Structure formats: structure tokens, C-alpha cells
């Protein structure tokens, strides 16, 4: 599973956030999610391990989970590309408006002068 799929689930995103505060055991993580079963939390932990977002260390009979933010660089790179694209579109639109305003300003007669009369008198 890739990083994007792994963080698509809100429970897994919350697990990564919880582990950002420091290592926790599987039991401590499961306690943070009383609304879901321990086996479900274990499945979420497995998905996060497979995606490389967390590591597990066996300490005695317990597994201690730690966050590994390295794989999040892939998401950062994607977000940077999206932000860059959005800004490029906005800057292109701004450039268009600036050119339009300059064109309109040049076409307008200076203040105090009457527009040239193109009608013939006669």
C-alpha cells in the first residue's frame, strides 16, 4: 500500500499524529480508539507499517510503535506541485488582468480631454 492510501483513512491519520508525540504500545493506541476493536486497530497499524509510516520494536512482550515521517515527503512533494500549479494559474490570471487594465488605460482618453468625435458634421 502506498503512503496516500495509508493516510486516506482518518483513523490511520490520527495514529500517525498520536505517534508524533512519541512511541506508544499497541494497547495505548487501541485505548485512544474506544469506538473500534483492537483487531481493527492492529489492521490499521499493519497498513501503516507496510507503508513505512510507522515502525514497530518488540520490547519484551509488547510492540512499541514509532512514527517515521520520511514517507510523508512523497505527500509533501505532491502538495508542493499542487500549490505551485494553483499559484501559477492565479499568477497567469493576474498577468492577464494587468495586461487588460493597461490596454484599457491606453485606449481611454486622458482626463480632461473629450473623446475624439468620429461623427461628421455637415
Nearby residues of 6 by Cβ (< 8 Å), 6 or more positions away: 12, 47, 48, 50, 51, 53
| Residue-wise pLDDT tens digits, 76-111 | 888 888 888 777 777 777 888 888 888 888 888 766
Q: Which residues pair with 56 in a beta bridge?
A: 65
DSSP 108: S
| Residue-wise pLDDT tens digits, 57-75 | 998 999 999 999 888 888 8
Chain-centroid distance, C-alpha 63: 31
DSSP code per residue over 26-52 = HHHHHHT-TTS-HHHHHHHHHHHHHTT
Task: Work out the pLDDT band at 118, boundaries 50, 70, 90.
Answer: low
Question: Which residue from 57, 39, 44 is spatially nearest to 16, judged by alpha carbons?
Answer: 44
Amino acid at each position: 500500500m502506498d503512503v496516500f492510501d495509508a493516510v486516506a483513512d482518518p483513523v490511520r491519520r490520527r495514529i500517525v499524529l498520536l505517534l508524533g508525540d512519541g512511541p506508544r504500545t499497541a494497547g495505548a493506541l487501541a485505548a485512544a480508539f474506544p469506538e473500534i476493536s483492537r483487531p481493527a486497530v492492529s489492521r490499521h497499524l499493519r497498513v501503516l507499517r507496510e507503508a513505512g509510516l510507522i515502525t514497530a520494536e518488540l520490547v519484551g512482550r509488547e510492540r512499541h510503535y514509532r512514527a517515521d515521517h520520511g514517507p510523508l515527503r512523497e505527500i509533501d512533494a505532491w502538495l508542493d506541485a499542487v500549490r505551485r500549479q494553483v499559484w501559477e494559474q492565479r499568477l497567469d490570471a493576474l498577468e492577464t488582468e494587468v495586461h487588460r487594465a493597461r490596454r484599457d488605460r491606453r485606449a481611454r482618453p486622458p482626463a480632461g480631454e473629450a473623446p475624439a468625435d468620429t461623427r461628421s458634421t455637415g
